[in-house]
Amino acid sequence: MNLLVTQDEHRKVPESPRVEQMVNLSSKKLRTLAGLAAVAGLSLALHAQAAQASGGVPPQPAAELGKTAQPKATIQGEQATTLASNTNIVRYNRLYKTGAIPASKCKEVNVSLRTAAGVKAYDQQLLNCMWAAWAPILKASGANYRVKPTMVLYGSKANTVCGVISSPTSYYCGHGTKAEIYIPWGYIANMWKNSPTYARAYATNTMAHEYGHHVQYMTGILSASWSRQYAFTTSAAKLEESRRRELQASCLGSAYIGANKRYYPMSAGLYSQWKYLVEHSGDIKGYPRDHGSFANHGWWSHAGFYAASSSTYAGRCNTFNSASSRVS
């Protein structure tokens, strides 16, 4: 998932002694970093029946909106063949009635993200913790909760079951009872050189967003949403469906981060950079309007992160039952 930063002024915030100090970036350099993240950090969420650019924020120019991959396996979750039944799946899914997302109680891995080994250790811990936290929620929703995505680090290009991807795209590919999350480690390593704290926030949020797509896949939301998108006859309707899907993935990802915020911990510099990231992620000029505005991406991310009281709920992330203005 990608994020774009266009802040007029960057202020250094207190940093945790656990990791090296955040680089104090100029506003010009921060905007550059953010712009690259936006066009790059976007992730792709696909199942074997539908391959298209989706993910963390701004769209990846190499991907074609609405392009379908050859079906290769039975998709997960409820099955539907009509627009009405697919709408029922995305709007009234049992996921929305599940309880509070439990804190995984996992702490952030204290490693440098300047190498592939460092990114692997950092993201694998995140993946393991998200799988453990989301399992009881998926079980309660009646979905297959045992499927754990495999994380795959890649360099410039990767061949996946869902298609070929290129860095800096983060990517979710679900097929049958298997799923992979692809992470372009070099992109994160380069980001670390400019700002370790921003790189940590980016890596955390990207993995959380991709896992949000996994939750959608297991519950049938991802497949039903793609079916709805193909059924719509106008470009505007298709793009709005994509935005609903992507904004929900960001909300679900933020809900996990919020549930575990005391243990990670999501505070001080890391929280400041994460907040800035989600509030400056979304569609950018010159690319398809398929991920949502900065304002709405920030709104849904905060809706997931803060939810109610000290608990977070997947039910706060029902983008499919929201007004068009909230997913614009």
Give me the mean pLDDT over the 276-302 stretch.
Answer: 95
Encode pLDDT of 172-186 as tens digits. 999 999 999 999 999
Task: Count Cβ atoms below 10 Å from residue 23 Cβ, excluding itself.
Answer: 18
- Domain assignment of residue 132, yes or no: yes
SS3 163: strand
Q: Which of 47, 51, 44 is nearest to 1 (CA)?
A: 44
Q: Are 291 and 328 in contact (CB under 8 A)?
A: no
The pLDDT score that the predictor gives to residue 308 is: 61
Q: Which of 152, 176, 174, 156 is nearest to 166 (CA)?
A: 156
Cα 119 to its chain centre, rounded Å, is 17
- Domain assignment of residue 178, yes or no: yes
- Domain assignment of residue 15, yes or no: no
- 185-194 and 196-219 helices cross at what angle (nearest 10)? 150
Higher-pLDDT residue of 97 and 73 is 97
Query: For residue 324, what is the DSSP state?
Result: G
- Domain assignment of residue 105, yes or no: yes
- Max avg pLDDT among 15-19, 27-31, 110-114: 110-114
If one counts the domains in the chain, the total is 1
Q: Which of 167, 165, 135, 158 is nearest to 148 (CA)?
A: 135
Going by pLDDT thresholds of 50, 70 and 90, the confidence category of residue 35 is very low
Higher-pLDDT residue of 100 and 6 is 100
Residue 37 has pLDDT above 90, yes or no: no
Encode pLDDT of 219-241 as tens digits. 999 999 999 999 999 999 999 99
- Rounded to 10 degrees, the C-alpha dihedral 22/247/95/70 comes to -110
178-184: strand order across its sheet: 43-47, 170-175, 178-184, 150-154
The pLDDT score that the predictor gives to residue 10 is: 24
Residue 168 has pLDDT above 50, yes or no: yes
- Domain assignment of residue 269, yes or no: yes
Task: Count Cβ atoms below 10 Å from residue 187 Cβ, excluding itself.
Answer: 24
Gap between the Cα atoms of 278 and 294, Å rounded: 8
Cα 148 to its chain centre, rounded Å, is 16
Higher-pLDDT residue of 298 and 55 is 298
Give me the mean pLDDT over the 262-269 stretch.
Answer: 93
What is the chain's mean pLDDT, rounded?
Answer: 80
Gap between the Cα atoms of 121 and 100, Å rounded: 28
Gap between the Cα atoms of 5 and 312, Å rounded: 26
Going by pLDDT thresholds of 50, 70 and 90, the confidence category of residue 29 is very low
Higher-pLDDT residue of 140 and 23 is 140
Structural domain containing residue 200: 27-327
Q: Are 191 and 4 in contact (CB under 8 A)?
A: no
pTM: 0.81
Q: 170-175 and 43-47: which strand pairing?
A: parallel
SS3 277: helix
The pLDDT score that the predictor gives to residue 103 is: 95
Q: Which of 65, 55, 88 is nearest to 320 (CA)?
A: 88
- Domain assignment of residue 267, yes or no: yes
- Domain assignment of residue 262, yes or no: yes
- Domain assignment of residue 170, yes or no: yes
Higher-pLDDT residue of 2 and 202 is 202
What b-and-e string marks burial along 240-257, b requiring 16 or more CB atoms within 10 Å of the CB?
bbbbbbbbbbbbbbbbbb
Give me the mean pLDDT over the 162-174 stretch.
Answer: 94
Q: Which residues pair with 178 in a beta bridge?
A: 175
Encode pLDDT of 115-138 as tens digits. 999 999 999 999 999 999 999 999
Higher-pLDDT residue of 212 and 9 is 212
Query: How many C-alpha atoms does 254 have within 13 Å on its Cβ side?
Result: 28
Encode pLDDT of 53-81 as tens digits. 333 333 222 222 222 222 233 445 554 55
